[in-house]
Amino acid sequence: MLPFRIVSCCRATLAVPALLALLACDHSAGPIIGGEVQPTVAPPRLAPVPIAPPLVDQSTVSRVVLRDPTSLAATQVDEYKQADGVVDILWIVDTTGSMANERSSLADNFDHFIDTLVRLRTRFQIGVTSTDMSSEGERGALRAELPYHVKIINNDTPNPREVFRANTTFPSSRKRWAQPLGAMVAALDPSLNRNPGFIRSGAALAVIVVSDGEDATFGGTAYFARWLRGVKGPGYETLISFSAIAGTIPDGCYPPGEESFFGSKADPAFRLADMTRRTGGVFASICDPSFEDSLVRIAQALNTLKRIFPLTLKPDPATIYVTVDSSYVRQHPVNGWEYRKETNSIAFAGDYVPPPGSFIQIFYAILPP
C-alpha cells in the first residue's frame, strides 16, 4: 500500500509507474524533493499605496502683535513747588485836597492790610505814587518821603504803617485832574524803567487806586486791562489785579461828615470799577467810615499764588493727570484745572489754587513729533 493518496487529474486509476508520469498534470504540486511535494506559490501582488501630503490647519489660533518701540507713547512728569505768595503792590493815591481825610483813614487802617498779608504767608513789596501826571507830579515815580526815605516797603521794613503814612501825605492841592491809569502805565512800563527793582520776576502784581474822582486818562479800560496783563508776560496774565477804593456806582457818594462841604462828593468811578471787573480785583467805597474791611478784602483777593504752570513738552491732552500734595485734582473750569494749548500750560481755574508750599505733579503722555 502506497504511503500517500494519489488524486488523478485524469479521473482514472493507473498503475504506479504511470502515476508518476502523470503528476505533471497536478498544477498544485511542485517538484518532488526528498519524497515530498513542494507546492508552487505565486508571488504576492503589490499594489501602489497613494501617499497624500499632510493636511495643515492654517487658521489663526493666537497672535502676537509687535510694535516699533519708537511709536509707543513716552510719558513725562513735570513737578513744581508752590512758593509762599509773592506780590508787588502799587498804591496810586489821589493828591487832591478833598482827599485829606480819606488818606489819613487809609494810613490809620494800613496795619490791617499788612497783617492780612503776613497771615497769608505773603512776601510783599509796596510802593506809593500819585494820580498826578502833571510836570509837578510824580508821573509814576515811587515816593520816599521824610523822615523815612523808604521807597519800597517789604516784610522787613520797621514801622510800615508810618512809612506808608509819610508816603501818602501830600501838600494841600486844588488839582482835580486825576489820571490813575496813566500813572499806572508810567510806573510799571519796563521801557521807562522809572522804578527799577520794584517788579520782580515770578511775583504777582497788584494795583490799588484810592481816589474820589473819575479817571481822566485817555484810552479805553479794555486797553489798560490788556496792558496790565502784558506786564507779566505770556502764561502769567492771571498774576495781576486792579482794585479801587473810589466813588460808588452809579451816583457817587459823600464821605461821612462831609455832606455839607462844597465839592466833597466823590464822583462815580465808572472806569475804575470796570478795571476791577476786567482783572478780578475788588471795588470798595471811598465813603466807608473805616477802610479796615476794604483793605482786608483787597489783601485777601490779591493773586499772590501761581495759578499757571507751563509744561516742558507737548502733551496728549487726554492723558493729563494732576496731583497736589499727592491728592488728585480734577479737570474742571470752575474748581479744578484746565489745559491751555496756546501757552502749553496747566491753569488752575476759579476758586481752586494750590496752597503755599504745596507740591504739584503733572503727568502726561508726550505727543510724537
Dump pLDDT digits (tens) for 183-200. 999 999 999 999 999 999
State whether 329 and 230 are in the same domain.
Answer: no
- Give the pLDDT score at 17: 54
pLDDT tens column, 241-290: 999 999 999 999 999 888 778 778 999 999 999 999 999 899 999 999 88
For residues 200 and 304, give the distance between their C-alpha atoms in angstroms, rounded to a whole number. 12
Domain count, the chain: 2
Neighbours of 359 (CB within 10 A): 13
pLDDT of residue 2: 44
On whether both 253 and 314 belong to a single domain, the answer is no
How large is the greatest C-alpha to C-alpha distance in the chain, in angstroms? 182
Same domain, 193 and 330: no
Could you tell me which residues come within 8 angstroms of residue 316 by beta carbon, excluding any fewer than 6 positions away? 73, 364, 365, 366, 367
Q: What is the DSSP letter of 118?
A: H
- Residue 23 pLDDT > 70: no
Integer Rg of the chain from CA? 51
Does residue 334 sit within a domain? Answer: yes
81, β-bridge pairs: 359
How far is Cα of residue 274 from the mean position of the Cα atoms in its chain?
28
- Domain boundary residue among 286, 301, 316? 301
Q: What is the pLDDT of residue 71?
A: 59
Say what the pLDDT of residue 131 is: 96
Same domain, 254 and 348: no
Q: Give the end of a domain, one of 284, 301, 318.
A: 301
* Host domain of residue 325: 307-365
Residue 36 forms part of a structural domain? no
Q: Cα(116)–Cα(124) distance, rounded to whole angstroms?
A: 11
Residue 80 lies in a domain: no
Report the b/e string of 104-130 with b at 16+ CB within 10 A: ebbbebbebbbebbeebebbbbbbbbb
Residues 128 and 255 in one domain: yes
Q: Which of 282, 301, 320 is the last residue of a domain?
A: 301
The pLDDT, as a whole number, for residue 34 is: 56
Query: In 94-179, at which residue ranges do the beta strands (DSSP E only) sit?
Result: 122-130, 153-154
Q: Is residue 28, in this structure, part of any structural domain at all?
A: no
| Cβ–Cβ < 8 Å for 350, 334 | yes
pLDDT, residue 14, reads 46
Q: Is residue 60 situated within a structural domain? A: no
Q: Which cell numbers hold the place of 207?
A: 494795583
| In a shared domain, residues 106 and 230 | yes
- Compute the average pLDDT of residues 65-76: 70
Q: Is 220 contained in some domain?
A: yes
Q: What is the mean pLDDT of residues 133-152?
A: 95
CATH number at 175 reads 3.40.50.410
| Orientation angle between helical segments 100-108 and 160-167, nearest 10 degrees | 170
